[in-house]
């Protein structure tokens, strides 16, 4: 089983949006996917509880930090992929999750505040010595998006697809869907490309 951790120590970066949509896309691609919601806000679990489809799966309860490794080991036989949504500014959770990761995806909004704040996440991931990539999220069609990509590329690889600011991402958060299950072709293409990129790193 491979594990993707979605991490950003600044709130509002789009972690849960990326986690749930990647989980749906991976399920549609034939993976058996387990989602873990380590954020006390429980947004990923709330989305999943409103979902009609069985996949991706979640456990009855999400693990405490000290039990994360045990939980992942127990899931090995049943799942191909685990996607973990982490809380912002929770060092114990982040350390445990990064230690279990095969890939860390770091969503970043293209704003000066977010670019300044991403340094703490970069430091934590580098300390854990785990592969990572940035994913620009909530991106406008503006020069600032390209500038943010150039800044981030100085610190690591940047996913070649941006997760744009689209209404469908918010709507599907309320309906228990992924955007790949809707008629929003542009959002679907973004998430499929993001999953293909992550899959390429995991399987490479």
pLDDT for 145-194, tens place per residue?
999 999 999 999 999 999 999 999 999 999 999 999 999 999 999 999 99
In a domain, 60, yes or no: yes
Does 63 fall in a domain?
Answer: yes
Residue 153 lies in a domain: no
**pTM recorded for the entire structure:** 0.95
- Mean residue pLDDT across the chain: 94
30 assigned to some structural domain: yes
Residues with Cβ within 8 Å of residue 46, at least 6 apart in sequence: none
CATH number, domain with residue 98: 3.40.50.300
Total domains in the chain come to 1
Q: Is position 151 within any domain?
A: no
Q: Which class for 114: exposed (0-12), middle (13-18), buried (19 or more C-beta within 10 A)?
A: buried
Domain that holds residue 199: 2-104+164-203
Q: Which of 3, 1, 197, 204 is nearest to 103 (CA)?
A: 3
Question: Model confidence over 66-104: pLDDT tens digits?
Answer: 899 999 999 999 999 999 999 887 677 788 899 999 999
- Taking the C-alpha atoms of residue 125 and residue 198, their distance in angstroms, rounded to an integer, is 16
Instruction: Tell me if 124 is assigned to some domain.
Output: no
- Identify whether 158 is part of a domain: no
Quickly tell me which residue has 């990509």 as its tokens: 149
In this structure, is residue 128 part of a structural domain? no
């Amino acid at each position: 089983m491979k594990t993707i951790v979605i991490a950003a120590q600044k709130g509002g970066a789009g972690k849960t949006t990326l986690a749930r949509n990647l989980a749906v896309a991976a399920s549609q691609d034939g993976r058996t996917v387990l989602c873990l919601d380590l954020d006390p806000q429980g947004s990923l679990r709330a989305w999943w509880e409103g979902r009609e489809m069985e996949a991706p799966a979640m456990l009855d309860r999400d693990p405490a930090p000290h039990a994360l490794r045990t939980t992942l080991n127990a899931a090995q036989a049943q799942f191909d992929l685990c996607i973990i949504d982490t809380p912002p500014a929770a060092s114990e959770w982040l350390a445990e999750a990064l230690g279990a990761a095969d890939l860390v995806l770091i969503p970043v909004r293209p704003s000066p505040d977010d670019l300044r704040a991403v340094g703490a996440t970069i430091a934590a991931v580098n300390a854990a010595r785990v592969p990572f990539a940035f994913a620009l999220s909530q991106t406008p069609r503006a020069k600032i998006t390209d500038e943010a990509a150039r800044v981030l590329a100085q610190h690591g690889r940047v996913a070649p697809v941006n997760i744009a600011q689209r209404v469908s991402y918010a709507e599907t958060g309320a309906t228990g869907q992924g955007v790949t299950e809707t008629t929003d072709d542009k959002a679907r293409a973004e998430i499929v490309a993001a999953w293909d990129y992550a899959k390429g790193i995991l399987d490479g």
